[in-house]
Amino acid sequence: MMEILSRRSLIKAIGMVGSISILPKMAFSSAVEHVVQMLNKHPDDKKKKMVFYPNLLQVNAGDSVTFESVDKGHNSASIKKMIPDGAEPWKGKINKDTTIKFDVPGFYGYICTPHGTNGMVGLIVVEGEGKLDNLKSAQKIRHRGKSKKEFKEIWKEAESAGLTS
């Protein structure tokens, strides 16, 4: 009888230790999922066409962003040399939702491949240690068409919000 109890106790203890070891991952996971809509028209200003909404987003390292294909004909792709060192570039498919997990702090510029020169661009600021490491290089990237003006406005908004310091 004593042998059965000690085996049961041992099995219970092993089960508790296993549960406790995964508990921190579940209980303390603070990763958030964000959504950026890909739209033909801005929801608040119908004069603005071909937009990401919002086009400026602040997230924490470990968060995910889903680029939601609300209107047809759009995708999301990272802009070469406008993401932090060590971050993975991405290029979503046209008309498909794309989810990206942002683990490396810094500034991420992105574009709709077919509508980039129409100004369909955006910026994600990932908070964390080293966030400012790629700020200057991201700001130096030259853009074409309406995206040049759009990024100028996005950087101004980011600065006003205190995201560039």
CATH number for the domain spanning 119: value is 2.60.40.420
C-alpha to C-alpha distance for 145 and 124, rounded to whole angstroms: 21
Number of domains composing the chain? 2
Q: Are residues 143 and 70 in the same domain?
A: yes
Q: Are residues 84 and 22 in the same domain?
A: no
Is residue 55 in some structural domain?
Answer: yes
Q: Are residues 14 and 81 in the same domain?
A: no
Q: Are residues 146 and 89 in the same domain?
A: yes
Q: Are residues 92 and 103 in the same domain?
A: yes
Q: Are residues 128 and 60 in the same domain?
A: yes
Q: Look at residue 75 in the predicted model and tell me its pLDDT.
A: 98
Is residue 165 in some structural domain?
Answer: no
Is residue 97 in some structural domain?
Answer: yes
Residue owning tokens 């995910």: 64
Is residue 68 in some structural domain?
Answer: yes
Q: Look at residue 160 in the predicted model and tell me its pLDDT.
A: 97
Answer whether 129's CB lies under 8 Å from 28's CB: no
Q: Are residues 40 and 24 in the same domain?
A: no
| Residue 14, domain extent | 1-30
Based on the number of CB atoms within 10 Å of its own CB, is 38 exposed (0-12), middle (13-18) or buried (19 or more)? Answer: buried
Mean pLDDT per segment of 10 residues, for the chain of length 165 residues?
A: 51 48 51 96 94 98 98 97 97 98 98 97 97 97 96 98 95
C-alpha to C-alpha distance for 29 and 49, rounded to whole angstroms: 37
Q: Look at residue 56 in the predicted model and tell me its pLDDT.
A: 98
Q: What is the pTM of this model?
A: 0.82
Q: Are residues 25 and 70 in the same domain?
A: no
Q: Look at residue 18 in the predicted model and tell me its pLDDT.
A: 47
Q: Look at residue 30 in the predicted model and tell me its pLDDT.
A: 84
Q: Are residues 8 and 45 in the same domain?
A: no
Q: Where are the alpha helices (DSSP H) in 28-56?
A: none
**3-state helix vs strand vs coil in the chain, percent to 5:** 35, 30, 35
Q: Are residues 108 and 144 in the same domain?
A: yes
What is the distance between the terminal CA atoms of the chain, rounded to a whole angstrom?
A: 67
